[in-house]
A and B are shown apart, each in its own frame.
Chain A
């Protein structure tokens, strides 16, 4: 059974950093691209970043470029999202998703950016 389990969320002050993790199991992690998709409270889905199966290619939405870094450790079957210079508009539930068409999703982790 495919499982994606996010961790690392919480309350953080504007301008500070936070790192999210996503532990994957039930499939060969190193065969799949992975992505982060977020959802602000009561809002719709918003793609954040994608990484290729081997980590050689990464893609970001414009609003997070230069602030967020997606990475992966295939030996640990873990996906990461390093978030720097956080803003209030980054407040959202962050979902880890598999593949290039998001066929499996984690349970999500809440990130609240507030002073």
Chain B
């Protein structure tokens, strides 16, 4: 199975500042079709996960453009610009290149 490793475990951010979350995969997530199959999800407290970013850098519907995704074949970054209080929760990266789909262990974002 592909292992997804996230860092840091938690991050505390002042409102208005930026935050970055890293994710590394144990094998390349770049398909021969040119698509990189890494995804980012946010689980707000007491809620279901929601999709933020698909195929490494595409913003999901309704997600503010303060969120952005980037990376290479195995190293990925979720950046949140101008963090707001509503951004608190646990962020997960996931790979959907091959079965079984796997997720990172999560990064908890808190507000200072």
Stretch of A24-32, A44-52, A73-81, A83-91 contacting B (4+ beta carbons < 8 Å): A44-52
A101 and B51 contacting across the interface, CB-CB below 8 Å: yes
Give the size category of B's interface with A.
20 to 34
Q: List the A side residues contacting B76 at CB < 8 Å.
A: none
Within 8 A of A (CB), among B96-112: 96, 99-106
Contact B48 A45 (CB under 8 A): no
Q: Is B92 an interface residue (CB 8 A)?
A: yes
B54 contacts chain A at the CB level, 8 A cutoff: yes
Assembled-state Cα–Cα distance A75/B49 (Å): 27
Number of interface residues of A (CB under 8 A): 20
CA distance A47 to B100 in the complex (A): 7
CB within 8 Å: A-B pair count: 51
A102 and B99 form a contact (CB under 8 A)? no
Residues of B within 8 A of A108 (CB): 48
Chain A residues with CB under 8 Å of B39's CB are 101-102
Interface membership of A105, Cβ < 8 A? yes
Q: Which residues of A contact B60 (CB under 8 A)?
A: 103
Instruction: List A residues at the B interface (Cβ < 8 Å).
Output: 35, 37, 44-47, 50, 59, 61-62, 95, 100-108
Give the A-binding residues of B (Cβ under 8 A): 37, 39, 41, 48-51, 54-55, 60-61, 92, 94, 96, 99-106
Supply 7 A–B pairs (Cβ within 8 Å), ascending by A: A45-B94, A95-B49, A101-B54, A102-B39, A102-B41, A107-B48, A108-B48
